[in-house]
Structure 1
């Protein structure tokens, strides 16, 4: 019998009518012979309202324990309402919160940003299967956990997505359905570009990167728990139909690829172009990159200052790039000169945790400084840091930096 984890975000259960529509969609799938576990967030804006009340009444005089207990009331209310509405539609349901002996989500003691205790949670989750075998629809709080002392913990913003995918993993579910306020994953934010199109499919890695860079559809850490055989999709609550297509999330989570340190095996050369106020001239960067692209020369990195642009290319193509860009400098009045630098090494560090790790740049630069390794250039995104050092220091830098992840 097919097992579904259906997670309803706060917007999708934002009022009584939406809750009833959500409950009806669950019952409809149940009546098709499917087993369903429901995960719910706090009703729309509830968590934000709690945070505002805490700020206005307590300010900083609130402990982590108090904060977690207060915030948990949003999900505690949601499960009770949702379970009651499901029962009103003729199907037995049971709500499960952290005070329930069947509660499966166990965490460490980091109360407001807890990490899952995977082994313990997998064991506890088996109790949920007993309810499913009895024809009961369990409704669980998203976002919340319980530590070894029995205290309520929270999984951080987006924690309900983590709950849904993690339960899917623990219960060997066939599908995880994320019910939200969009039709699926769009080509871009439809509030900004009206012609945005819904994607039929998106890979786990693409979804993770999109979420990490600010898309609010799904929490990126949730995808850690997408098993290869579990289907997953994102759908809109408005249709009240869990069987609609939405956007399918394809593929497993490639855990070992998520945290990597790579030393590029070949030397890189620096070509630097200077020109006073060059960045005020429209099209300089476009002309530079087009010149190299038309000659099949890949750019590994580019940095721009007020009066200079530095490009990083493979050393074996550096002389060709040097001559091509020299011709561009001669033809362009805004540019003055260029130079070809010495061999350097390129190291790339990637991790989804970088975005939530204060001080990650200093964690990278400090060991290099302590070992007298000069950084030629450094660039970063939300999930990657690229460091260029002198070629002779490349292997030593790699040995130092791979310990960071």
Structure 2
């Protein structure tokens, strides 16, 4: 248990399929009631019942001939979760559990967002004080608050929705503000698997997975938990994914640990980089030659920062400090193939690494960096994209300018991603 409260405290989110009909809602309420009767403080987040959100979306789009106003659409879509919260709270009361549902029409609604309708971002500095003031006292009185997930409200009172993974986002924000011992996501699957069970036979269920790894999988299209939701997970609070079929909240599943990695932009290391470019149409298609290049650098302990290939060229980026006579060795190796070729060498480069767990964040930062670099006439020697990161190579004559530029960009990242400290 968290040191700041004497009893176990959990946030439980029920997905739409776990609330698909009256029977499932009753079983979910019974699972919560059992925990409450054992002295556990439980805050509940509910999704819309079954496929209600999709049905509301289709109905609104058809009625408006595809021209529905985003603000109106959010108000319409919110009705699924708002109805679900009312029914779930009533089910808890019927089991003898004190409960209160929240609604964005209330003054004490806790999830405050910007006005980016249909994909709003929560304003954490506004959410946490509201949660501590309006929800925490209910838990201390053994009252179960039921909060519609996926929904927010602007400072001037307009209903918003949080986009993909919105109910998970709500649960993670509540968990962090309440200093919960655990966040439990009740879904239609037994946990998180090594592959999609619908596409791969007999995948293995993971007992644990780090948030960073899960976010990377999500960025590549895996449908586990959306990245936007993971961004709000408290690093000190584990998340357990379980199936509703067990009818209890202590069921085993997959535990998500750790925190969401931050976007970063920095010099790879203080060493200078050497770029070797081989112009040869035939060698670019020769895997044996490429393996020989890898072996040449590895055998001599030379750090290889990356390799890129084009239709008629191969570019190799290596650490310059211990490169020794590697250009001569590579030239000699190429000559063995008796093909027409040219070898160019560029020394004293800097390598800047841009890394963001979301691919669109990486691209956004790269575009911002490229604009500033070009505006200051700094020569770009190469761009090397890799998994969720990009390395930019530039002439080291601009080192002082680059260091100042990176400091400025990291300041912008820290401001954008700043979260206030969480008090108990």
Same fold? TM cut 0.5? yes
Residue 318 of structure 1: SS of its match in structure 2?
coil
Deviation for aligned residue 1:86: 3.0
Q: In the alignment, which residue of structure 1 is the partner of 2:265?
A: 261
Picking from 321, 342, 345, the partner of 2:347 is 342
- Mapped to 1, the partners of 2:115 and 2:406 lie a distance apart of 29
CA distance in 2, matches of 1:180, 1:295: 52
Contact 2:194/2:204 (CA < 8 Å) preserved in 1?
A: yes
Note the C-alpha offset of 1:45. 3.5
Deviation at 1:310, TM superposition (A): 1.5
Q: CA deviation at 1:277?
A: 4.8
Counterpart of 1:379 (choices 363, 374, 384) is 384
Taking structure 1 as reference, are residues 321 and 156 closer, same or farther at Cα in structure 2, changes over 3 Å only? farther
2:151 is matched with 144
Establish whether residue 45 from structure 1 lines up as the match of residue 51 from structure 2: yes
Q: CA RMSD in A?
A: 3.0
Offset of residue 39 of structure 1: 0.9
Q: 1:61 to 1:131 in 2, by over 3 A?
A: same
1:34 corresponding residue in structure 2:
40
Q: How does 1:164-179 map to 2 (within 5 A)?
A: 164-179=171-186
Q: How many pairs were matched up?
A: 402
Partners of 2:354 and 2:362 within 8 A in 1? no
| Aligned-residue offset at 1:336 | 4.7
Asked if structure 2 preserves the Cα contact closer than 8 Å seen for 1:165 and 1:222, the reply is yes
Equivalence for 1:156: 163
Aligned residue in 2 for 1:81 = 87
Q: Is the 8 A contact 1:354 1:360 kept in 2?
A: no
Unpaired segments ≥5 residues, structure 2 = 1-6, 414-424
CA distance in structure 1 between the partners assigned to 2:147 and 2:54 by the alignment: 20
Q: How does 1:65-80 map to 2 (within 5 A)?
A: 65-80=71-86
Q: Which runs of 5+ in 1 are unaligned?
A: none
Matched, 1:215 2:222: yes
Q: Which residue of 2 aligns with 1:244?
A: 251
Could you list the structure 1 runs, at least 4 aligned residues long, displaced by more than 6 angstroms after superposition.
none
* Equivalent of 1:105 in 93, 100, 111: 111
Quote how far apart the aligned CAs of 1:289 are.
3.7
User: Who is 1:396 aligned against?
Assistant: 401
| Separation in 2, partners of 1:401, 1:60 | 44
- The structure 1 residue matched to 2:67, chosen from 57, 61, 66, is 61
